[in-house]
Structure 1
Amino acid sequence: MSEPIAYTVTIYTENNIGLLNRISAIFQRRHINIESINSSVSEIENVSKWTIVVKLQEDQMKKIIGQIEKQVEVIKAYFHTEDETIYQESCLFKIKSNFLFDEREQIETIIKDNNARIVTVNREFFVIEKSGRREELEILYRELSVFGIMQFTRSGRIAVTKDEMKISKMLEAFQH
């Protein structure tokens, strides 16, 4: 049996109540952990796009896609390897502001070296934003943790495929 690999699952759906529970149950019944999940609007009006990251074998992935597509509100579901997608995550760090001058310089260097940016500053705290691969976000987390992270949050993966997906033409037909 091959080693599980990370797959990015893309699901185009109608926007209906309860669908999240039914789709997550498909993974739960098979004891598969969802690494990340994101839901957003898609390029077609009234169609949602879900991006889910899971680690498993390809044969399992194909079975799960089949189960997902049986849901009435699902228009189409796909899965791709990490090599077949361009993906990012975002995170926010809330850091206390009362630093000594040399600590402030260290933090500014960390922010610059990690291509992060400050989005809010006040007397009590400042907020740093970073987008990138999960590994990049984890490096920044480790570097900032020595200064005391007050709050941290990270988004789920957002992704597009490297190859053209014919879904847009299919979704245009759905829209009319």
Structure 2
Amino acid sequence: MEKKEFTISIFTENLPGLLQRVVGNFTKRHINIISLTTSQSSVSDIHRFTIVVNIEEEKIEKLVTALERSVDVLKAFYYHPNEIVYQEIALFKVPAYKFNESNQVENMIRKHNAHILTLDPDFVIIEKTGHEPEIDALLVDLKKIGVYEFVRSGRVAVTKHMEPLNNYLESIQKIEIN
């Protein structure tokens, strides 16, 4: 079977040790996590894990079923890339003096549709939101002038098809109200 990229959304209560239990499901199946992001969901007291993996579809189905059997996991979904809208964010710290030498850095920032967040006498913080290849392309270009620091988030994603997720979130809210 062919490996494909999938994004998994896992809805849980916010409890200590839950991250370890969720990640344990991947570890025991020898599945490498490409990206992992956790955040609040649109429902109070419910958290969302967004995890990107590259695996066979047969294995993703089994993984999601196993995740849902976990005690504190409320629901898990998996999506193909065309079923979601997603982004990452990256921050780059570069030498400030490079801005004084030429328009090269400014042109680079414009070319990559990035933004300056902070100007300091010693460094400049640049922010880029986009898909992984776009962030990687900016990193390659900025390395030519020097990068003091680089950090990127994991994927954040929302589904295009709202019906299953909306029905689930509404059911959680109804349970909370009662």
TM-score, length basis structure 1: 0.95
For the aligned residues, what is the CA RMSD?
1.1
Cα distance in 2 for partners of 1:58, 1:100 equals 47
Counterpart in 1 of 2:168? 167
Task: Give, in angstroms, the shift of residue 157 of structure 1.
Answer: 0.2
Shift of residue 171, structure 1, vs aligned partner: 2.1
CA 30–123 in structure 1, closer or farther in 2 if over 3 Å, else same:
same
Aligned to 2:26, the other structure's residue is in SS state: helix
Does the CA-based 8 Å contact 2:68-2:74 persist in structure 1? yes
Counterparts of residues 35-54 of structure 1 (less than 5 Å) = 35-54=34-53
Task: Please give the per-residue CA displacement for 1:67-121, whole angstroms capped at 9, x wherever unaligned.
Answer: 1111111111000000111000000000011226443x11101111111100000
The 1:100/1:157 distance shift into structure 2, 3 A limit, reads: closer
- Unmatched segments (≥5 aa) in structure 2: none
Structure 1 residue 23: Cα displacement:
1.0
SS of 1:149 mapped into structure 2: coil
Inter-partner Cα distance in structure 1 for 2:100 and 2:93: 19
Identity fraction in percent = 36
What residue number does 2:129 align with?
Answer: 131
Aligned to 1:59: 58
TM-score, with length taken from structure 2? 0.94
Local SS of the residue matching 2:161: coil
User: CA shift at 1:19, angstroms?
Assistant: 1.0
SS of residue paired to 1:59: helix
Q: What stretches of structure 1 of length at least 5 have no aligned partner?
A: none
